[in-house]
Amino acid sequence: MNTFSEKVVKILAVALAGGGLYLLAAYEHGQRESIRRADVVLTPACIEKLARYGLESGEYYQSPYVLQRTGAKLATRGYADDDIRAIKRGCNIIDDTQGKLASDPDRERWNTRRFIRGTHTACRHCHQSVGDKQDAAGNRLVGSLNLGASWTMADMYDRFTGLLLPFELRQMQCYINSSNGYKPNIADDVIRDVTSYSRFLSVALDMKIANRYDEQGIDEIPASATPKQGDDYVRGEAIYRQKCESCHGPQAFGRVDPDGRLVAPAIAGPNAWNMQSRNYFYYVSTILPGFICRNMPLGQENTLPNQECRDIAYYLSNLPRPAGDRQGPIIALRQQVLMKVLPPLLRATGSARGKAAAAKSDSGE
């Protein structure tokens, strides 16, 4: 009898535990569904971007961009209200990944911060102008990481992993490497909404699936595209001081204004990409130089010679930054120590050099 009672108790305990988990899952699902159906408050950049491309629900969609550029009225399948909300949320995630402009980041950005280490990273730092960078005349820019162009590539061969990666998996790589964080589940709303926004950009710009566009990805700069002087740390530091420091800071740890707003993101230190990122010069020596030449300095894009871009990238990759998953615990510990110890040492030596230069100037030497 005791054995029978024990079995009944165990069965009831398992049933209660299962029922509790089911109720919790049902509650969480209901919460997510309520977020999906809630009105979306857009960031200022997304208001401008989506208004420019005429996003609205309806049976058909016509792109104002295509009409203006070609005079053609191309009618494509329209968007339902659910589609509109997903596109808006995706735009917000690209522009304000960490939810600094949201009243409730956990709800309005699907708590995207949980996939990111550090406080600086946002998708728009690489995918500028909310994933669709153009010049004043509306021309899409080469090597500008256009999200619409990236989506049209669909399943793309990745030469680093040897795999055929869909757009969703390429997003996951960004969180792991460029954001020095953790990959979302491929079915997560974060992935779905960014995909929805990227697909909308491809339609608004009249991009065709499986076509290769110059604005997709990075216009990489190999050593063969330079005068072959060799990549130089000293030259890179000098150019950085002249053209990059005013925005990204003396140690490339980024700049934050007195109100806590990010002025320019970190490109070294704990808030930057890790040593496994393809931006890391020692891992891939062509990507970061290409990004710098095509996208920096802001407002002066395509003004730096190829060699200077490689020198800056080489210099930046010698500054301390987080280790990646492949580096192991010893290197990870070394990088953490460097990120803690080097900044105050560099500030102290920099201050000493500044005082010495001032004294030399005062003495008239």
Residue with more model confidence, 362 or 315: 315
Crossing angle (nearest 10°) for helices 306-316 and 233-243: 100
Q: Is residue 353 over pLDDT 60?
A: no
Which residue segments constitute the domains of the chain, with CATH numbers given? Answer: 35-204 (1.10.760.10), 223-341 (1.10.760.10)
Percent of the chain with pLDDT over 70: 95
pTM of the model as a whole: 0.89
Residue 362 has a pLDDT of 53
**Segment 79-99, tens digit of pLDDT:** 999 999 999 999 999 999 999
Run of H or E residues at 307: helix 306-316
**Alpha helices in 38-98, H assignment, sequence order:** 44-52, 64-70, 81-95
What is the rounded average pLDDT of the residues 105-114? 88
**Segment 206-242, tens digit of pLDDT:** 999 888 899 988 899 999 999 878 899 999 999 999 9
In contact, 228 and 222? CB cutoff 8 Å: no
Cα 296 to Cα 126: distance, rounded to the nearest angstrom = 11
Q: Is residue 361 over pLDDT 60?
A: no
Q: Which of 291, 154, 267 minimizes the C-alpha distance to 215?
A: 291
- Given pLDDT bands bounded at 50, 70 and 90, which one contains residue 325? confident
